[in-house]
Structure 1
Amino acid sequence: MTSVDASDLLARRFEAERGRLRAMAYRMLGSLSEADDAVQDAWVRTSTTDVEAIENLGAWLTTVVARICLNVLRTREAHREAPLDDAIPELADLRSGSDPEEEAVMADAVGLALLVVLDSLQPAERLAFVLHDMFDVPFDSIAPILGKSTEATRQLASRARRRVKGSASPTPDAVRQRQAVEAYLAAVRSGDFEALVSLLAPDVVLTADAAATPAHIAVMLRGSQEVARAAVASALRAPFARVALLDGTPGLVVAPRGHLRLVLAFTVDGGRIGSVDVVADPARLRGLEVSLADS
């Protein structure tokens, strides 16, 4: 076989793996541009490697991409960096940029709430969970990537799994709160002012920290009419909002492209919403434990 034929064959073999590698990298990084960069980096390494000596190219590529992603996650953790394609501060601008529709499709395919939870994990936890639970990679293959024992890697994935799944037995109060939160989100999305008023207690209080408001000033609103008007005015955020557990209690996460920007925490009494706490301050967001709401 000539060198040209060999290169062409290698390229075809890599392209056959590209979709899987891209999906895996996206789940580990939560950023489409960074996932594409990781896969391209893997191709560069592959094209300069003697792949004839590689027994299982798919498994080898999985390891290469996983190591690249782990380095990105560790660098991001060290510098507290957001993914580069999520650096635009205004929600309205998130529809611009490169391939915004594909970003939305990818995020929805994985689940925005799941991406938020994955983003809260430590790099090693995220890698172990994604590779094992989402791509069926054995723990004894993941362990060398992390530089840990198989048992320690298993524990990392188990810890991540508990964070992802949250409480397995929601209380009746939690079920009622989730129903109220879902109804609130549906009313905001449809702009149904009357439905919102009926969901809110007459003396409901909404507080929002400075990071959550366009003027960067903390606000407090009182009364169902005023809070309902503010909720309708915030409809731009609604497409990015999903129900999740905030410290074990149903609330809303607003996560363009799956990266947490803002949460709404609720108190519900007698089926009506008594308070709404809107939080966007990064330090407060980092202090929250976010997990998936039960289906």
Structure 2
Amino acid sequence: MTIEIFETHRARLFALAYKLLGSRSDAEDVVQDAWLRWSQADRAAIRDPEAWLVTSATRLGIDRLRQLRHERERYPGPWLPEPLQVDSAPTPEHGAEVADQVSLAFLTLLERLGPEERAAFLLKEAFDYDYAQIAPLLGHSVANCRQMVHRARARLQADRPRFEVSGDRHRELLVRFMHASQSGDQAAITGLLTANARLVSDGGGKVTAVIRPLLGAERIARLYAAVARRVGAGIEARIGSANGEPALLRWREGRLHSITTVSIDGDRISEVLTVMNPDKLRRWQPVEH
């Protein structure tokens, strides 16, 4: 029964680890380490296997996140989360129930929280744990956990778009942005962005990318216009999805070149996130023979 019990909770443990770390490979490592601990534990003394496993995965995830924060400080340019799911031809219903809490924008916002603060927030908001459950799991008092979640919620809310839009409106703006950026229409791109829009691209030091966030609609528009002039004809673009939200997928010579998602504030795009690091795109490349 050892493995059967663990497999019952594997998906939940992976979801927690992925939201903590923003990386499929690191999340898989955490789940594997949790399995090793479980397989060696005195299970006769474990009254609540789910609580034991979630506690183990959370603590392993926090330890791994502390290590990653130091590694990401040395990362070449901005670091963005690794997409978990990419679909080049999604149905309208595809991923609708997972998009919000694993969107690249949300995972990027979580990077601004400390490891324990991030864990407390996710356990409360994403997994519906109460403070009495979170406190012993993190080794803090109920009051401290409540304060961590309150502080995290306030920090995230301050950086999220002020006005929500429908999924259809989100997709419509992304389609218009795709056409404008492909053609290099600088005026059209500027008109789609908020004045203080932000662009972040993650090339991992392996491909050409903006090495620091680019701020301002006009600067972002000039960049896309320059890229369109240089390589526009060699790039195929289409709308797909990444982690359940609409995404602009760009292909070059049959290989996935980049994944771009956008945040919408009212009727304009406020943030553009582009994952270009080949290591984060490898899973969706065609198999080479």
Percent identity of paired positions between Structure 1 and Structure 2: 29
Partner of 1:230: 226
Inter-partner Cα distance in structure 1 for 2:174 and 2:29 = 35
Q: Which has the larger radius of gyration?
A: 1
Partner of 1:20: 12
Q: How does 1:49-198 map to 2 (within 5 A)?
A: 49-77=41-69, 79-81=70-72, 102-104=84-86, 110-166=102-158, 170=162, 185-191=174-180, 193=183, 196-198=186-188
**Contact 2:131/2:146 (8 A) holds in 1:** yes
Partner of 1:33: 25
Which letter maps to 1:243?
S
**Contact 1:187/1:195 (8 A) holds in 2:** no
1:45 aligned onto 2:29:
no
The one of 236, 239, 243 aligned to 2:259: 239
TM (normalized to structure 1)?
A: 0.59
The one of 256, 273, 286 aligned to 1:254: 273
Q: RMSD of the alignment, in Å?
A: 5.1
Which letter maps to 2:187?
V
Inter-partner Cα distance in structure 1 for 2:274 and 2:220 = 26
**Consecutive unaligned residues in structure 2, runs of 5 or more:** 88-94, 165-169, 238-249, 251-256, 278-289
**Contact 1:116/1:255 (8 A) holds in 2:** no
**Contact 2:262/2:269 (8 A) holds in 1:** no
Query: How big is the shift at 1:32?
Result: 0.6
Query: How big is the shift at 1:75?
Result: 2.2
Query: Helix, strand or coil: the match of 2:72?
Result: coil
**Contact 1:184/1:199 (8 A) holds in 2:** no
Query: How big is the shift at 1:73?
Result: 1.4
The higher relative CO (CA closer than 8 Å, separation ≥ 6) is in 2
Specify which structure has the higher proportion of helix.
Answer: 1
